[in-house]
Amino acid sequence: MLLSNVISPLLLAGVVAASPTNVGSDYSDAVLVSRSIPKNFAAHAAAAIKAFGPSPSKTMMHSNIGAAKAFQVAKSKRLQTVETTIFQAIQADKKSKKNEYKDTLAKYCIDKTTFCDVQSGNVKDWVEAWDTISSVWANYAQTETTLATNKAGPAKDSFYKRIEEPILTTHKIKITVDNKQ
């Protein structure tokens, strides 16, 4: 009872994601393991976007078309996606041998399947990381941005609909929708 009084507020605050893990061969050995993105993750995302992002009016959001297609659309329109920005920051960090982003951006900024398979992470951690990045990216945009999507429009549960669009509309950013993808 006391343990649940401690864990419940933390879960509600989004600080800790607790999941049962089998430690031994006996299921009675299952324990709760805390996982969350590193505390400096948002600061690293903001620094990366500031250093490697395009002009704040040259940002492009995307939904329902995938990162590869979004990259092509952005390139053709001389815009930049958040994935490209973060990738450039990670590459520059590796090249400089600082490895400042090793346990933050480089660890979480990969596709969901790879993160869950290779990094032994879970979808919740990956989503939390990209929620943070999406928030920083949307706040980076100024005056205008472009949304690349398909005719169906943004998925209801997408990062765009949940995170970016509310921030953009709150800041009265003009959104040009390209739904021909």
- Domain locations along the chain: 1-36, 38-178
Confidence at residue 122, expressed as pLDDT on a 0 to 100 scale = 84
Q: Which of 157, 166, 160 is CA-nearest to residue 148?
A: 160
Confidence at residue 29, expressed as pLDDT on a 0 to 100 scale = 34
Q: Which of 31, 22, 59, 34 is CA-nearest to residue 137?
A: 59
Distance, CA of 80 to chain centre: 15
At 87, the amino acid letter reads: F
Confidence at residue 120, expressed as pLDDT on a 0 to 100 scale = 67
Question: Mean pLDDT for each 10-residue chunk of the chain (181 residues)?
Answer: 37 35 34 64 96 97 95 97 96 94 91 79 89 97 97 95 98 96 77
CB 89 within 8 A of CB 101: yes
Beta partners for 176?
146
What is the CB neighbour count within 10 angstroms for residue 104?
A: 23
Indicate the pTM of the whole model: 0.77
Confidence at residue 5, expressed as pLDDT on a 0 to 100 scale = 37
Confidence at residue 73, expressed as pLDDT on a 0 to 100 scale = 97
CA distances from 154 to 8, 40, 163 (A): 33, 30, 12
